[in-house]
Amino acid sequence: MPRIPIIMPQLGESIAEATVLSIAFQAGEMVETDQDVLEVETNKATMGVTTPCGGRVAEWLIEVQQSYPVGATLGYLEVTDEEAERAGLDAPAPAAASEHSSSPMDSTSPAQSKGGVQPTVRGLPVPAHASGATYLSPRMKARMNELGLHAADLSAVAGSGAAGRVTIEDFEKYLARLDEHKLSPASSMRVAVADAMRRSWTRPLATVGRSVVLDPLLAHRKTSTPKPGPALYALRALAIALGENSAPAGRLVGQKIVHPHSIDVGFAVEAEDGVLVPVLRRADQTPLSEMVVRYDELVELARQRRLPATAQGGSIATVTNFGTFGLEWATPIPLPEQTLVLGLGAGRVIPSWDKAKAQFLPVTEAQLTLSFDHRVLDGGGAGRLLQRIAVLLKEPEKL
C-alpha cells in the first residue's frame, strides 16, 4: 500500500522545532483525516499534529520528549491508492528505514535532528537564538556548542584574558562552581522568554509614565455585560491612538520607519513558567464590546498553552497589567519585534482636589507606563501617546 509521511508542520512564524509530548495512536491503528495523532510543545504553546489523510499508522520515527525540526518526517501512514492520489503522492514512499533519508518528501530525518536540531525552514522572521558581541575562540565555541549555550550566557562570567576576554579556563571554573548550587532544568517556555529578552535588550529602551483616574472606567465596567477587564480598556485605547498615528509603533529599518499595516495588539498572560502574548487583530477597528468574549477566550487558551496560530505573533505592541500583582509601577520590556509596551498599574484610592467643590475627594488612580524603542520614539512623542491613551480612558463609552 502507498505510504504517506506525517510531517512536523510550521507551528508559528518563529517556530523552528517542537518537542513530542505524547503519541495518541500506535502503529497498526486506524486514523481519520485531520485527526490529532501527536501532541507537541513549542516554546510558545502545546499543539496537535494532524494526519494529512485517513489510513493506518505504519510506523513512527520519533521518541517522546525529543525535539524535531519543522519539516521533519515523524512517521508514515499506509493509505489506499485513492487517498494517495488525493494527497498528491505520485509514487509510494520507500518502506525501508534505511531509505527514508533518500525520499524526496523526507528532507530531514528525526535521527539526524536529535544531536542538535537544524531547522529546515530558513529566514525565520524572529531569530531563534541570540548572538554575542564578544570574540569567542574556536575552542570556546566548541565547548559552548557541546553544552548548548550561547554567547549571551557568558554575561555572568568574569574574564581574565586580554581586554577582559573570557578564556576557556574562566568558563570551566564558572561551570565547576555551578555544581555547588541547587540546579533545576529550565522549561522551553523559560528559555524562550530569556532569549526574547536578551534580543530586546540590545536596543536603547526608555520608559515614561503618568497617572490616570480610573473612576469613569470602573463605572462603565459595572454597567457592561460582559464586563471588560482593565487591561482590555487599555488595549483598546492604545489601538485607537495608534490607529490615529501609527509612527510610534513603526520599526526602524536602515533610514526608514516601517509603519504597521494593521493595528494588531497583544496582551500579556501569565502561563506556567512564563508569559504568552495572545493577539487581537485590527484592534483599532473593533469596538470594545465586541472584543470581550474573544479576549476572555484567548486568556484561557493562553493559560492552557493552546493558543491557535492565528492568535500568535505579528502584533505591533503589547499591553501588560502588572497591577494584578499589586504593583503600582514597572518598566516592562517590549518584545524584540515590537517598539512599544503599555503597562497598567494597580488602582489605589487617593485624595484629589476638586476645584468646583473646593475640597479633596477620593478618586481611584493608577499609573500608566509606556516603554519604547528610543531609536523610533523620543520622550515627547511617547508622552503625547500616553496622554492620548489617558484621555481615551476617561471616556470609556467611546471605546
Residue 66 within any structural domain of the chain: yes
Same domain assignment for residues 382 and 267: yes
Mean pLDDT of the chain: 81
Give the model confidence (pLDDT) of 72-86 as tens digits. 889 999 988 887 777
The sign one gets for the Cα dihedral 190, 145, 70, 338 is: positive
For residue 126, is it within any domain? Answer: no
Q: Is the pLDDT of residue 141 over 90?
A: no
58 and 101 together in one domain: yes
CA separation for the pair 97, 303 (Å, rounded): 39
| Average pLDDT estimate for 87-95 | 50
pLDDT on residue 162: 65
> Strands (DSSP E) along the chain, which ranges?
3-7, 17-23, 30-31, 36-41, 46-50, 55-60, 67-69, 73-78, 205-213, 251-253, 256-258, 265-267, 269-271, 274-276, 279-280, 317-320, 340-344, 348-354, 359-373
Structural domain includes residue 195 = no
Query: What is the mean predicted confidence (pLDDT) over 295-316?
Result: 88
Q: Which of 21-35, 187-201, 317-331 has the lowest mean pLDDT?
A: 187-201
Q: Dump pLDDT digits (tens) for 146-179.
A: 776 766 667 667 777 765 677 888 888 877 777 7
**pLDDT (tens digit, 9 = 90+) per residue, 102-134?**
333 344 444 444 444 444 433 333 333 333 334
Same-domain pairing of 222 and 357:
yes
For residues 265 and 364, state if they share a domain.
yes
Res 362: pLDDT: 92
Do 216 and 346 fall within a single domain? Answer: yes
The answer to whether position 348 is within a domain reads yes
Q: What is the domain-level CATH number for residue 313?
A: 3.30.559.10
CATH code, domain with 143:
4.10.320
pTM score > 0.75 for this model?
no
Q: Residues 361, 296: one domain?
A: yes
In degrees rounded to 5, what are phi and psi of residue 146?
-60, -35
CA separation for the pair 309, 320 (Å, rounded) = 21
Q: What is the pLDDT of residues 230-281, one digit of tens each?
A: 999 999 999 999 999 988 888 888 888 888 889 999 999 988 777 889 999 9
Please tell me the predicted confidence (pLDDT) of residue 201.
82
Q: How many structural domains are present in the chain?
A: 3
* 261 and 394 belong to one structural domain: yes
Domain membership of residue 50 (yes or no) is yes
Phi/psi at 62 (5° precision):
-130, 170
User: Roughly what angle, to the nearest 10 degrees, separates helices 138-147 and 168-178?
Assistant: 20
**Contact indicator for 150, 140 with CB cutoff of 8 Å:** no
Whether 78 and 214 share a structural domain: no
Same domain, 214 and 251: yes
pLDDT at 14: 59
Whether residue 92 is predicted with pLDDT greater than 70 in this model: the reply is no
Contact 6, 52 (CB under 8 A): yes
pLDDT of residue 123: 34
Q: Are residues 147 and 260 in the same domain?
A: no
Within this chain, do residues 20 and 154 fall inside the same structural domain, yes or no?
no
In a domain, 93, yes or no: yes
On the CB side of 242, how many CA atoms lie within 13 Å of its CA? 29
Residue 279 inside a domain? The answer is yes
Residue 157 pLDDT: 74
Q: Are residues 220 and 369 in the same domain?
A: yes
C-alpha span between 140 and 112 (Å, rounded):
24
- Residue range(s) defining the domain that contains residue 14: 3-113
pLDDT at 54: 87
Is residue 272 included in any domain, yes or no? yes
DSSP structure class, residue 6: E
> Is the peptide bond prior to 69 cis by the omega test (within 30 degrees of 0)?
no
